[in-house]
Amino acid sequence: MDAVTGWWDDYFWGSMIVLQVFFFSLLLMVLFGLIGAAAKLSDNRLAQKIAGAYTVIFRGTPEILVILLLYFGSAITLTAIAQMFDPDIKFIDVPPMWAGTIAIALIVGSYATETFRGAFLGVKPGSIEAARALGMSNLQTFIYIRIPEMWRLALPPFGNHMLSLIKDTALISIIGLNETFFVAKQAIGTTGEPFTMYIVVGCIYLAFSTIITLSVMGMEKFGARTGEGAR
């Protein structure tokens, strides 16, 4: 493990990048998931079709392919647009971090779409009728009845989606994001100890997934405190 000594700070900053990508992709993932679920539950045929295509496409394609397509696709499009104004420009790309963040958010968002849809459908009709009987408006029913009931239903699969997100950040190193994986590659170049360096990366990811698993367990406990008995 001596070889790692000089690299701790690089690993630390790499982990910070993992965290940054995780948080932004989490926000986007929730957004995509909610929009997808809303579209699937809406009465609009076209919206249903688009959301259906979205889930089929992103659940049926390998993650690495989506990342490569988004990164190189956006680069070639941007370069072509830029060359229309200035023919001297050779190459412009979307920073790998953002291309990657959007790519993994789109992928996991397609899974989240199904989760949110199921959770909204899982809200008991009786609860909504009770809210109506109490004279709550649609908005009040949504905020006080639907949301509290659905997040409890969505939480266990949502925890898995967060784990997928954190693990998918490793794939972004393929298009050149300088996160922990990338740090390991550099470190191997100078130390020649691939096993040690990649094990450190594995431990970092294991720590992240442990934290996520524990927080989801805590939230489940918090959600169940007022549930109906042992749920």
Partner 1 sequence: MSFDLSLITESIPKMLAGIGITFQLMFLSAVLGLILAVILLLMRISGKWYLSWPAQVHIYIFRGTPILVQIFIIYYGLPQFEFIRDSVFWPILREPFGCAVLALTLNTGAYVSEILRGGVLGVDRGVLEAGSALGLSARQKFIYLTTPIATRLALPAYSNDFISLMKATSLASTITLLDMTGIARTIVAQTFAPYEVFISLAIIYMILTWIIQKSFGRIEKYLSRYVNP
With contacts defined by CB under 8 A, how many residues of the chain interact with partner 1? Answer: 44
Q: Establish if 194 lies at the interface with partner 1 (CB under 8 A).
A: yes
Reported residue count of the chain is 231
Distance CA 167, CA 200 (A): 15
Q: What is the C-alpha to C-alpha distance for residues 64 and 180, in angstroms, rounded to an integer? A: 17
Instruction: Report the alpha-carbon distance of residue 163 to residue 215 in Å, rounded.
Output: 12
- Contact letters (x/-) for partner 1, 151-190, by CB under 8 A? ------------x---xxxxx-xx------x--x---x--
Stretch that binds partner 1, among 20-28, 124-132, 134-142, 198-206 (CB under 8 A): 198-206
Please choose, from the candidates 170, 156, 164, the residue with its C-alpha nearest in 3D space to the C-alpha of residue 216: 156
| Near partner 1 in 84-143, by CB under 8 A | none
Alpha carbons 104 and 92: distance in angstroms, whole number = 21
Return the number of the residue (60 or 125) whose C-beta is nearest partner 1.
60
Rounded distance, CA 167 to CA 162, Å?
9
Q: Is 17 or 170 the residue whose CB approaches partner 1 more closely?
A: 170
List residues binding partner 1 (CB under 8 A): 56-57, 59-66, 68-69, 72-73, 76-77, 79-80, 163, 167-171, 173-174, 181, 184, 188, 192-199, 201-202, 205-206, 209-210, 213
